[in-house]
């Protein structure tokens, strides 16, 4: 997939980070992911789309609930790792493909549940992604967002986003505050079913380990120093604390559950169109639903099972 900047830089960032990211979330965040998915309360047999799925963090857990899960990500290497993890867990009800969340090759009004975890900060433009979420969700269906958010205080938010930007080495990484995040979905006509901001204690060095650094240049060490300098007046709103020689901070995570109101009929697509769109992912629409189609040898490598 050839992409314009800055999206190409996001794709490069997550292709580069795919292996450490997958190792990290599967070893450290399994319990947290289980609790997050339990909060969503997915129903067995629901048709679910996980957007910007990474190595399958949420998608594989949703599969354990018996949902029929389709998951997409911009980074091919994430998709390869996700497929490998699905095979290892014998989780065959979960299907992965490369796609851009801003232009989903998927039918409208189709999914019972759309999920998106810890990814909105990396989208260069959010309104088109939220519009796509709205389009593909069936009327009455739900959208679950788990997202790191910045403090409501504008000064702290600016400092935190400067640090986030240094960690991603120029690729888009911008945290919204919870109020702005909610407003974005309200503007797209979603109805809020449940909204909470939870504080999660993170190890600073774990957060830095997922940075896009030129290690030889010492940029990770410099960023660590800059973060610690915010501890005195908490200018980044991280509530830094030292415990047994290690630094921790408190990440704010917005957990938002939205509903597309059932009166909505925006974005209807003909069955024919839906079929054409979905075939490019190696999936096909049958009886208004999705299923895996046979993937032929002529398909591009990134889209093979
Ligand atoms: C921080 S990771 C989160 C992955 C996963 N959802 C999780 O909870 O672990 C962000 C993911 O967003 C993906 N991403 C960024 N922009 C995207 C886009 N336009 N379309 C699809 N995926 C995108 C990245 O490739 C990356 O895998």
pLDDT one-digit tens code per residue, 30-66: 999 999 999 999 999 999 999 999 999 999 999 999 9
CB 113 within 8 A of CB 63: no
Report the predicted TM-score, pTM, of the whole model to 2 decimal places.
Answer: 0.90
Ligand 1 atom 14 nearest Cα: 52
Contacts 24+ apart (CB under 8 A), 3-6: 3/74, 3/100, 6/124, 6/171, 6/172
Question: Which of 39, 40, 48, 54 to mutate for ligand 1's pocket (most ligand atoms within 8 Å of CB)?
Answer: 54
Domains in the chain with CATH codes? 7-203+252-303 (3.40.50.150)
* 270 compared with 47, residue with greater pLDDT: 47
What is the rounded distance in angstroms from the CA atom of residue 106 to the CA atom of residue 85? 24
Q: From the CA of 73, how far away is ligand 1's center (Å)? A: 6
Please give the full DSSP string across 150-176, using - where no structure is assigned: B-SSHHHHHHHHHHHHHHTTTS---PP
- Ligand 1 centroid, distance to 245 Cα (angstroms): 32
Q: What is the pLDDT of residue 293?
A: 56
User: 126: Cβ below 6 Å to ligand 1?
Assistant: no
For residue 271, the surrounding DSSP H or E stretch is: helix 271-279
Q: What is the pLDDT of residues 85-97, one digit of tens each?
A: 999 998 878 999 9
- The three-class DSSP label of residue 1 is coil
Which residue stretches of 175-235 are H helix? 178-187, 204-209, 219-228
Do 205 and 23 meet the contact criterion of CB atoms below 8 Å apart? no
Ligand 1 proximity of 47 Cβ (cutoff 6 Å): no
Contact in structure between 260 and 139 (CB atoms under 8 Å):
yes
Spatial contact of 289 and 227, defined as CB atoms under 8 Å apart: no
Mean pLDDT, rounded, of the chain:
89
Ligand 1 atom closest to the Cα of residue 58 is 8
Q: What is the pLDDT of residues 197-248, one digit of tens each?
A: 999 999 999 999 988 877 667 889 999 999 999 999 999 999 999 999 999 9
| Structure confidence at residue 268 (pLDDT) | 52
What integer pLDDT is reported at residue 291 of this predicted model? 72
Is the Cα dihedral 75, 94, 145, 55 positive or negative? negative
């Amino acid at each position: 997939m050839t992409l314009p900047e800055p999206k190409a830089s996001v794709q490069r960032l997550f292709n580069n980070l795919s292996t450490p990211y997958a190792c990290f979330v599967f070893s450290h965040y399994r319990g947290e992911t289980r609790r997050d998915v339990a909060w969503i309360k997915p129903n067995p047999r629901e048709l679910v789309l996980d957007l910007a799925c990474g190595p399958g963090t949420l998608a594989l857990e949703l599969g354990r609930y018996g949902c029929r899960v389709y998951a997409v990500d911009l980074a091919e290497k994430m998709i390869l790792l996700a497929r490998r993890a699905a095979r290892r867990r014998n989780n065959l009800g979960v299907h992965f493909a490369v796609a851009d969340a801003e232009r989903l090759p998927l039918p409208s009004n189709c999914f019972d549940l759309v999920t998106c975890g810890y990814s909105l900060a990396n989208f260069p433009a959010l309104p088109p992604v939220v519009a796509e979420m709205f389009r593909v969700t069936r009327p009455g269906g739900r959208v679950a967002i788990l997202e790191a958010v910045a403090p409501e205080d504008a000064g702290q938010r600016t400092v935190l986003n400067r640090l986030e930007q240094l960690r991603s080495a120029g690729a888009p990484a911008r945290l919204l505050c919870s109020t702005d995040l909610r407003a974005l979905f309200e503007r797209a006509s979603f109805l809020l079913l449940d909204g909470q901001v939870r504080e999660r204690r993170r190890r600073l060095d774990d957060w830095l380990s997922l940075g896009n650094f030129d290690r030889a240049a010492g940029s990770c060490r410099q960023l660590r120093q800059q973060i610690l300098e915010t501890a005195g007046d908490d200018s980044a709103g991280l509530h830094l604390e030292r415990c047994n020689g290690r630094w921790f901070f408190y990440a704010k995570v917005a957990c938002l559950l939205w509903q597309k109101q059932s009166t909505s009929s925006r974005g209807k697509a003909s069955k024919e169109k839906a079929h054409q769109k979905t075939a490019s992912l190696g999936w096909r629409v049958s009886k208004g639903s999705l299923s895996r189609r046979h993937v032929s040898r002529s398909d591009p490598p990134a889209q093979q099972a």
